[in-house]
Structure 1
């Protein structure tokens, strides 16, 4: 597994992003704060009034006064409940809108990441940011943040109310502040790294699980279940150990806070006894001060018990902000000059995935309009890299790609989409109706156009057997397509998209022997008359190309037609003899 991960935003950068988002929504923010203050005030008022009630009872005040005070308590409770509900709604709404914007920006940035970056960091880290981290933040938005906001408002107004009761009792309660601060000073510097580490190991576990699930056929083929099981167990054990350590650390913090509460309440009661004995305050005032301080236990406890989730959400937010903060590639304004034809020209390409080990060395290839050129070579020769660069998926360190004389780098993403498209060995079938999957290539495609595309790629027969035809739900949670059927869907998409240049990167490799010829015929039909660069997995596909280019170690070593290369008795001729001998023997058996 790669040690590289996507960047994580610093605390300062995360707060800067948060302030920027809040400033963009001043109306909702101000309304949320005002309603929160009202809710906190309504919650504190009953305790404040209760002290006055004690004094009125001791003084022997008329029952009407006591009833009035009791009615005020009920009214405050009703107002407090309504205001708290409104405050929680406004906070959740504000947070949900901000999270939706962040999630969309994160997915948009993830889709725009260079392929080399995704391959280097692994998909587990990337997917955990736009799934697990988003879920963690969403839970905080709906549960943790409203609780913390209410607790903060209640704490602030409770402290202010204690000053209103008697400044000496407030000072007595303030004796606990240094102990709270010491607890926070011990907790905060140690907590953030722990939660960040917890999110990191969770991302690592996601990567291990994904590799095992996606590679299940290979795992079964090589009987490597035990080693993969150990990897999963080790990754899960790291998550377990760190999570237990985080919780243990948090409980130690709670113990320190409980000690601070005990000290504060004890000092208030002792001070109140002394002041009442001296006639400086009433019993009701002392009662109110003690109850107000005791009332702090609940919001402070809420802050503490949500701090665990808040820290985890903060770590997730930093990871998401880090993702959206990755510099975007320079915007391309596009070219006003249309390609003069459908030729494809690759000039002096050099490429390296890590910057140290070159994968391509001065590769130049030209495809005339409508020409089919096949790339042949052993694994690691650089064929797929050439295909990726030709399609604009990869960007070379040196060299240029032109379509019809126009630089690919000068085209916008939409212009590239119209002029060049690639089908790789690993195609994806999107969850949903088959027709909607095909309309990703051409949103306004009619049913007749879809039927014609399926007919061209030879898929109409198996589509007709589906329960709802082209409206059958396929992909995850729906009808599972075979590898060959998925490739046919990809070829049908290409036909509907109708690009000037097609790149087929081993697009028939997953079909197996039985479906290979059908897929090769489908690929030939889709690319007929179209400029096509083929990374050939099967030499029978290369043999029908107009020109064959043989690659080795990132360079072109042979070039010509099938007959020319066979007659030259070079590398291609050796590959062809081995291929035909193997398949002749297979057919004989």
Structure 2
């Protein structure tokens, strides 16, 4: 690991707000925490590697002894013992090396597995608003490319780097044991190598950090373009999106080529150090042999020792390339595993797992022993929100949802309905104002608020397992009851294997309406006191709209519910309708009251009724 770590990368103005990247200190702290429970394994691996390297260092003196025997014109049988010892050394070194690499690999794989677990666990707890700002590409790049690069480093670079460092240290010690002047001659190469390493690290750390950001941006642009291909074709903006993809790709390729040129310069500088050191050792050996300070065999062993340093020194320095790349990836992974709520954000404002996607700013339910009615009241006070400074989406919104009340939000596109729904659900933190939940609490041990949107994910596996994501201890009877509540039990039992039918990726394909019914059944199982539905019936199509709207109404029955109405028939059946325009509430009342009074809702209803 380089000393400087990966710096916090700043995004250019107007770019996505990427997920955090850990500093060098944070990265090292995380590594120490992961290794601490495996200290015994780490020590055993280190000892085995030291023993293997030390055994290998016996080869050069044995070869030097053979040179001396030949120079002294000893009989051939005098070579038998050194040759046999060479074979023994080779076998012993091979066995010790295999053991050491096995222990180090076992250590690395264990640490990597734990790191993956922490990454996934913390990624699922991140505030959804933060993930949305960063974009799916950033998170995807970290969980795929970055994890892969760290894994590759753990499996190959880490063991090889450990072997190389040990070989360098022990070989230099062996040269000093032959004669301290050989060590001094060898150290002539060190300043050149150290300067080369510092030169490389200073340039590689920021370059690889930029590469990771550019790769994430490239992946996000590809995801956006592919996901929105229908819209792109509809508006004939293929050229614009192709240009965006090309621009992102060019940036990533340019940074990659800069890295290639940097590595080539790095190799060239290493050659200078190698030949300077070897020349110094050979000259020293010549002078010492001429003065009868050492034998020809000893000088040969010293030269062989230094020559054997070429591989581990170069490998260690070259592995800096892999280390810098892996360190940049590790810093991005640790940035997610160590992510904490923003300064000033209470601990309970962390993401709360709901039926679909909830959390971020939802407070706990404040117990009100004097509540007039059972259930939970949602009070929105002075709510302002802006995704970007100076561009407010909501303005001073006040709204109260009474216990068990179903409130429908309607209004034109861009009025702020979805933003208000996400703030109530806790996906985002409001710029100003508060969202409070008060009441007598709930019998449910699940989240206080669940958010259902039109984007519902079906996890690969049996349908019953998918339902139990909402409540792991749900019995088969409770699963059937939840499905029956949203009027989907018949089609679920009619599947090839009933509730055991594999759905999701590679499994039985569910219709859009069935997917939404599955989400509503999860809501019933999770049993939150407050439910927020953001156009949760929009994917049904006209044929299944009424069935799905009825299912949604039954799912939220008895709960305090806020529904962003995709169709005005949902508003007509709600207890109260709230009309929004340009980020403000402009009307509130029952369907009958608003239809009878002139205003936006009456106009919307008239247009809706006339269009049907």
Q: What TM-score does the superposition give when structure 2 sets the normalisation length? A: 0.88
Of 543, 558, 563, 1:529 maps to 558
Note the C-alpha offset of 1:578: 1.3
- Residue 488 of structure 1 corresponds to 517
Question: For the residues of structure 1 that align with 2:448 and 2:421, how far apart are their CA atoms?
Answer: 15
Alignment partner of 2:588: what SS? strand
Structure with greater helix share of residues:
1
Note the C-alpha offset of 1:119: 2.4
Of 497, 502, 505, 1:476 maps to 505
- Residue 411 of structure 2 corresponds to 377
Note the C-alpha offset of 1:102: 2.8
Of 380, 402, 408, 2:437 maps to 402
Number of equivalences:
577
Q: How does 1:66-145 map to 2 (within 5 A)?
A: 66-145=79-158
Alignment partner of 1:183: what SS? helix
Question: For the residues of structure 2 that align with 1:373 and 1:191, how far apart are their CA atoms?
Answer: 56
Q: How does 1:4-403 map to 2 (within 5 A)?
A: 4-23=17-36, 25-61=38-74, 66-328=79-341, 330-332=346-348, 337=367, 341-352=374-385, 353-354=387-388, 356-396=390-430, 397-403=432-438
CA offsets, 1:192-216, max 9 Å, x none? 1111111111111121122123323
CA offsets, 1:448-498, max 9 Å, x none? 332333333333454355433322322233333332221111011112222
Note the C-alpha offset of 1:342: 1.5
Structure 2 regions of 5+ residues with no counterpart? 1-13, 349-362
Question: For the residues of structure 1 that align with 2:321 and 2:535, how far apart are their CA atoms?
Answer: 49
Question: For the residues of structure 2 that align with 1:364 and 1:404, how far apart are their CA atoms?
Answer: 19
CA offsets, 1:65-92, max 9 Å, x none? 5333223222222222222222222222
Q: CA RMSD in A?
A: 2.6
Larger displacement relative to structure 2 (337-346 or 173-182): 337-346
Question: For the residues of structure 1 that align with 2:513 and 2:239, how far apart are their CA atoms?
Answer: 31
Alignment partner of 2:142: what SS? helix
Note the C-alpha offset of 1:334: 6.6
Question: For the residues of structure 2 that align with 1:419 and 1:185, how far apart are their CA atoms?
Answer: 53
Question: For the residues of structure 2 that align with 1:73 and 1:415, how far apart are their CA atoms?
Answer: 73
Of 441, 446, 449, 2:475 maps to 446
Question: For the residues of structure 2 that align with 1:508 and 1:268, how far apart are their CA atoms?
Answer: 80
The answer to whether the 8 Å contact 1:350/1:398 transfers is: yes
Question: For the residues of structure 1 that align with 2:448 and 2:188, how far apart are their CA atoms?
Answer: 73
Question: For the residues of structure 2 that align with 1:470 and 1:2, how far apart are their CA atoms?
Answer: 45
Alignment partner of 1:422: what SS? strand
CA offsets, 1:125-176, max 9 Å, x none? 2232233211111111111111111111111111111111222222222222
Note the C-alpha offset of 1:261: 0.9
Note the C-alpha offset of 1:326: 2.9
Larger displacement relative to structure 2 (499-508 or 96-105): 96-105
Question: For the residues of structure 1 that align with 2:198 and 2:403, how far apart are their CA atoms?
Answer: 70
Shift of the 43–220 alpha-carbon distance from structure 1 to 2, 3 Å rule, reads farther
- Residue 568 of structure 1 corresponds to 597
Question: For the residues of structure 2 that align with 1:207 and 1:351, how far apart are their CA atoms?
Answer: 29
- Residue 505 of structure 1 corresponds to 534
Note the C-alpha offset of 1:428: 1.4
The answer to whether the 8 Å contact 2:384/2:397 transfers is: no
Larger displacement relative to structure 2 (71-80 or 144-153): 71-80
- Residue 586 of structure 1 corresponds to none
Shift of the 164–238 alpha-carbon distance from structure 1 to 2, 3 Å rule, reads same
Question: For the residues of structure 1 that align with 2:30 and 2:53, how far apart are their CA atoms?
Answer: 28
Question: For the residues of structure 2 that align with 1:145 and 1:15, how far apart are their CA atoms?
Answer: 15
The answer to whether the 8 Å contact 2:576/2:589 transfers is: yes
Question: For the residues of structure 2 that align with 1:495 and 1:183, how far apart are their CA atoms?
Answer: 64
The answer to whether the 8 Å contact 1:162/1:289 transfers is: yes
Question: For the residues of structure 2 that align with 1:123 and 1:335, how far apart are their CA atoms?
Answer: 31
Q: What TM-score does the superposition give when structure 1 sets the normalisation length? A: 0.91
Alignment partner of 1:478: what SS? coil
- Residue 554 of structure 1 corresponds to 583
Shift of the 3–98 alpha-carbon distance from structure 1 to 2, 3 Å rule, reads same
